[in-house]
Structure 1
Amino acid sequence: MATGEVGTARPGGIADDPYHLTPEGIKEPPEGWIESLRYFGPGLILSASIVGSGELIATTTLGAQAGFAILWIVIVSTLVKVAVQIELARWTISTGQPALTGYNKVPPRFGPIGWVNVLWVVMALSKVLQIGGIVGGVAVAFSVLFPIGGDPLGFRSILIWTVLVAGGSIALLYSNRYGLIERGAVLLVGVFTFVTIAIAFGLPFTPFGYGAGDLASGLGFQIPAGALGAAIAMFGITGVGADEITFYTYWCVEKGYARWVGPNDGSEEWARRARGWINVMYKDAFLSWVIYTFGTLAFFIMGAAVLNPQGLVPEGNEMITTLSRMYTDTLGEWISIGFLIGAIAVLGSTLWAAIPSWSRMFTNLLATVGLLDWQNATTRLRYVRAFTVILPIVWGAAYLFVQSPVIMVQIGGVMTGVFLLAVVVCVWYLRRTEIDRRLYGGAAFNALLVVSSIAIALLGVYTILSVFNLLPGA
């Protein structure tokens, strides 16, 4: 049995259920990187989600629009949110509770639901567009590779492939086994990310080369005219967004971190185990940060170096063919098939992580308002599987209605930036009220958490003012 698989509990929901903390589930934490490696996993699922729509679509589009000028935003956006992600996961590991359960504790409340979860519902609705854009991106890539009924960008071929992508995702993920999701994420994200990084750093040896001067020009903390909207969306969607910060907690539980810590009996032994497994989570989060940071930089550089000089910006259903120019213009037309396969892998990795993650979050939301018992593993699995079927169908339908993957992804990115503000509020509330002080991070981490919180808060406030045209001079 893969560690932390959903639905492995016996009827009633306790035995082997990672969301139930029992003395029988306690395990001593490993020490050092080598011994910790086999306990990594949540961060790899996170990387599969991140190295996808944000990087291939939003980051590349920003590079195509603005060139190297805002390279600094790419770096900041991947770094600044990690401390908030870790702090929320710290609370989860010490309590065994997932994010939406914690969000619902933050006052004020409207009956059974807290204001943060109300805002989460609004974000989830905007994500219908964003993840619909991902479904559409995969469908378009398949359609260009294997057109059905003539024009690869015609409605008939894209419709058929959208149905196939949604149906195939449901079939592959219906079991919702943690081990399957983790292994699939690693496979999908690994090869294409490596190849993309290799190409990006090899561009100086092609006609689309760039130099140290180009990179330095992107570190001047400036935003060119006309690129502000794309920059805000990219900040919200690249690196760990509000949705990734949220669902990371579910994977930390299902990997087993909280169960291995055991129930909080107030003892020093419990605190020692908790610190040990939190340290494993630190390493897991750091590895995922390295993966998605280099992936993000690679996609941005390719957009800035290859697409921007030619005035090419990914738009509409032509997004995939425009993005393929990053490869065909540097390596030749022979690479176009490889790019399409890679695009399917990188966008598919986001879809692979998104379906089970959002299924868990929606199920948890229903539990917080009393519509189901989250602690009953059998009931929980039934609802998770129901959402595994429903969500890909809804996302696919949203894409077929809008058919503009870039805009769809950017809309979701803006709303993600707004919800990040609420996540920061939750993290500090739960830190003050429910995290054992013996588990707090050190001085350096706490300083980073403050900086991250301030940066995210400023982004959220700016985005809200921008949406309602309340900025000076707007």
Structure 2
Amino acid sequence: MSDTTSSSDANVFPRDTSGVESTVLPGKDRVINLEAPGTGARDTWKAMGPGIAAAMTGIGASHLMHAPTAGAQYGYALLWIIPVAYLLKYCAFEFAHRYTLVRGESIMEAYERFGKWPLWYLGFQSLANTFGIAGRALGCAALLWAAFPFLPLQVWAVLILVTCVGILWAGKYAALESAVKLAIIVFALASLTAFVLQAPNPTEYMTRLLPTLPPIGAALLFGAMFGYFPTTVEVAPMQSNWAVDKKSGMVRVRELERQGYKVNMAPSYMRNYMKLFKRDMNISYVISMVTGMAFLIVGAVVLNPIGLVPESREMGLTIARIYTDTFGAWIFPVIIAGGVAALFSTVFTYFDGQARIFEECCVRLRRRWDDPQTRQLIYRGFQILWIVAGTAIIFGLPRPIFVVQVASVLALLFSPLLFWMNIKAIKDNFSGPDLEFMPSKFMFAWAWAGMIGLAVISLYVLYLQFLT
């Protein structure tokens, strides 16, 4: 069964975006010749998508909430976590995307071959992530409240949840996407400019890139940063599903074969797709990491000396102060618009990605549910559940930073097993022609080190939180 049968009718990526030229040869065998994609700058931009979408899921909460909070409370003491978290998690996302590119199917197919327990595990994780969606919505609402305080914080947060689902169900995201991307770009440029203007001498923070024990009282934030930077590991199967929709690599080949075609690929077809995939992954990853570190450093420079920490509904005003103190009051609407776009895109992307993970778990556990109508019912039902449960959390615990920190630690605890599943998916399923694209021994060693590192950090956070 392939994820291309997903019934969600308004996805992050349109269904036919491969853009690969093909030649159909007449005859009873119905042969299609697929040309290799180009690898120039325009081709790279066109191919980018799953990597950017994955980065979008983290650039909101981690960058806008955890990084400034860490800088405001502890200066540069937690700066080292950001590059280390990116290094530890890299292979989790790389392996999931590589699997889909080479095997032509979602990595959920590999999970199911382990047995039914991964599906139950992912389904439970999807429900537990309600805290995450509520926290992200609260963060976005705090920015909106800073500009438009005529509605309570909780009302803004619920409106964000409902708006995300409305856009998905109406299939109107394409019309919104350009404006959101533009706002995020402006926001990122403003953030980096603020960093350049406010950045201290590099010697003040470069020495803090060496790992050290977290300061007293920082256990929750320590775990939260490892949970959400660069994003949560459950985004890896989401990224795989988005790659299926992008019809990259062998996904397009498998689709044509199911339609009865014999497919001939150009010699460089897969090699070029691998180049494009790595660029999508690496460019998004590096930009995300650099901006995350910039947020923390600017927070340490501007907020730490005056003892101002982002919290509660004042979070948006506090974060905006980083930039108004640098540029003046005129920058306030720019920062609010960009911050709202960044966090809104995070909420939106999770609403689509996590709902599809839950949908896939359900139809794989109950095969008779695998039809378009039932899939759509599960997909939309999950989103309604998130609105209801998220609203309860929003009104019951209207503290954006705290809720996101709790969700982030939960994500950290889920991450080692999800990481292991991605490693096993590659090792167990690559054979024959796939072996040409098997990760190197170094990559496997890196992956195992990342998985074990996340497991050790998870145990350490539990020890700090409950045993000290």
TM-score range, shorter chain: 0.7 to 0.9
Counterpart mapping for 1:366-385 below 5 A = 366-370=362-366, 373-374=369-370, 376-377=371-372, 379-385=374-380
- Equivalence map 1:51-62=2 (5 Å): 51-62=59-70
Judging changes above 3 Å, is the alpha-carbon distance between structure 1 residues 248 and 236 closer, same or farther for their aligned structure 2 residues? same
Match of residue 358 from structure 2: 362
Q: 1:446 to 1:264 in 2, by over 3 A?
A: farther
Q: Which of these residues, 446, 449, 460, is aligned with residue 451 of structure 1?
A: 446
Which residue matches 1:29?
36
Equivalent in 227, 252, 260 of residue 260 of structure 1: 252
Distance 1:248 1:46, change over 3 A: same
Q: Residue 84 of structure 1 contacts residue 427 of structure 1 at CA under 8 Å; is this kept in 2?
A: yes
Which of the numbers 215, 236, 252 marks the counterpart of 1:225? 215
Structure 1 SS opposite 2:421: helix
Q: Do the aligned partners of 2:136 and 2:343 also contact (CA within 8 Å) in 1?
A: yes
Q: CA deviation at 1:185?
A: 5.8
Residue 87 and residue 244 in structure 1: after superposition, are their counterparts in 2 closer, same or farther (change >3 A)? same
Q: Is structure 2 residue 232 aligned with structure 1 residue 241?
A: yes
SS at match of 1:422: helix
State TM-score, norm by structure 1: 0.82
Counterparts of 1:470 and 1:199, CA distance in 2: 34
Q: Does residue 1:343 correspond to 2:333, yes or no?
A: no
1:142 alignment partner AA: L
Residue 136 (str. 1) matches residue 128 (str. 2): no
> Residues 300-339 of structure 1 correspond to what in structure 2 (within 5 A)?
300-339=296-335
Distance 1:26 1:467 in 2: 55
In the alignment, what sits opposite 1:196? 191
Q: Which of 75, 81, 85 is residue 83 of structure 2 equivalent to?
A: 75
Which residue number in structure 2 is paired with residue 91 of structure 1?
99
Task: Give the distance between the partners of 1:17 and 1:364, measured in 2 at CA.
Answer: 22
Amino acid at match of 1:128: T
Distance 1:245 1:271, change over 3 A: farther
- Name the counterpart of 2:202: 212
The Cα of 1:252 is off from its aligned counterpart by 0.4
1:463 aligns with 2:458: yes
Structure 2 residue 41 is the aligned partner of structure 1 residue 41: no
Distance 1:130 1:192 in 2: 23
2:75 alignment partner, SS class: helix
Q: Separation in 2 of the partners of 1:17 and 1:365?
A: 26
Instruction: Tell me the CA shift for residue 278 of structure 1.
Output: 3.2
> Which of 58, 62, 71 pairs up with 1:63?
71
| In structure 1, C-alpha distance between the alignment counterparts of 2:444 and 2:256, rounded to whole Å | 25
CA distance in 1, matches of 2:267, 2:427: 17
Q: Is the 8 A contact 1:135 1:396 kept in 2?
A: no
1:28 to partner: Cα distance:
3.1
Q: Contact 1:236–1:416 at 8 Å: present in 2 too?
A: yes
Quote the offset at 1:179 in angstroms: 5.4
Q: Is the 8 A contact 1:140 1:320 kept in 2?
A: yes
Q: Which amino acid aligns with 2:331?
A: I
Q: Secondary structure at the match of 1:174?
A: helix
How far is 1:426 from its partner? 1.0
Tell me the alpha carbon deviations over residues 120-177 of structure 1, each in whole angstroms, 9 at most, x when there is no partner: 34433332112201111222322232222xxx6xxxx224323322222222221457
CA deviations 1:431-451 (Å, max 9, x no partner) are 122123644577985413422
The C-alpha deviation readout for 1:232-270, integer Å capped at 9, x for no partner, is: 210120114212222101110011114323369899959
Conserved 8 A contact 1:189-1:345: yes
Whether the 8 Å contact between 2:233 and 2:418 is mirrored in structure 1 is yes
**SS of 1:68 mapped into structure 2:** coil
What TM-score does the superposition give when structure 2 sets the normalisation length? 0.83
The separation in 1 between residues aligned to 2:388 and 2:31, in whole angstroms, is 40
Question: How big is the shift at 1:466?
Answer: 3.7
Where does residue 24 of structure 2 map in the other structure? none
Aligned to 1:70, the other structure's residue is in SS state: coil
Letter matched to residue 132 of structure 2? Q
SS in 1 for 2:80: helix
Once the two structures are superposed, what CA deviation does each residue of 1:57-88 show, in whole Å capped at 9, x if it has no partner? 11221222221133222112123322221112
Pair 45,470 (structure 1): closer, same or farther in 2 beyond 3 Å:
closer
Pair 1:446–1:310, CA change in 2 (3 A): farther
How far apart, in 2, do the equivalents of 1:191 and 1:231 lie?
29
* Aligned CA-pair RMSD: 3.4
Moved more, 444-453 or 422-431: 444-453
Write the distance in 1 (CA, Å) between the matches of 2:244 and 2:147: 39
Deviation sequence 1:71-107 (CA, Å, 0-9, x none): 222112123322221112222223343243432322x
Aligned residues: 442
Cα 1:62–1:438, aligned 2, differ >3 Å: closer, same or farther? Answer: farther
User: Shift of the alpha carbon at 1:182?
Assistant: 6.2
Structure 1 residue 202 displacement after superposition: 1.8
1:5–1:178 CA contact under 8 A, matched in 2: no
State the shift of 1:320 in Å. Answer: 1.9
What's the offset of the Cα at 1:341? 2.3
Change (3 A) 1:48 1:26: farther
Residue in 2 that maps onto 1:287: 283
Aligned match of 2:23: none
Q: 1:239 to 1:410 in 2, by over 3 A?
A: same
Contact 1:126 1:411 in 2 (8 A): no
SS at match of 2:113: coil
In structure 2, the residue matched to 1:12 is none
Following superposition, the deviation at residue 211 of structure 1 comes to 0.9
Q: Is the 8 A contact 2:153 2:313 kept in 1?
A: no
CA apart distance, 1:53: 0.6
Contact 2:145 2:153 in 1 (8 A): yes
**In the TM superposition, what is the alpha-carbon distance from 1:461 to its structure 2 partner?**
3.4
User: For the residues of structure 2 that align with 1:393 and 1:307, how far apart are their CA atoms?
Assistant: 35
* Identity, % of aligned positions: 23
Query: Which deviations, in whole Å up to 9, do the C-alpha atoms of 1:14-71 show, x marking residues without a partner?
Result: x9799xxxx9898433142433331221122222212101110112212222211332
Q: Is the 1:253–1:259 Cα contact (8 Å) retained in structure 2?
A: yes
Quickly say closer, same or farther: Cα 1:145–1:430, change in 2 above 3 A. Answer: same
More displaced 10-residue stretch of structure 1: 75-84 or 234-243: 75-84
Contact 2:223 2:461 (8 Å CA) reproduced: no
Give CA deviations for 1:293-315 in whole Å, capped at 9, x if unaligned: 12212211122211122222222
Structure 1: any 5+ residue segments left out of the alignment?
10-14, 205-209
Which residue identity is paired with 1:261?
Answer: V
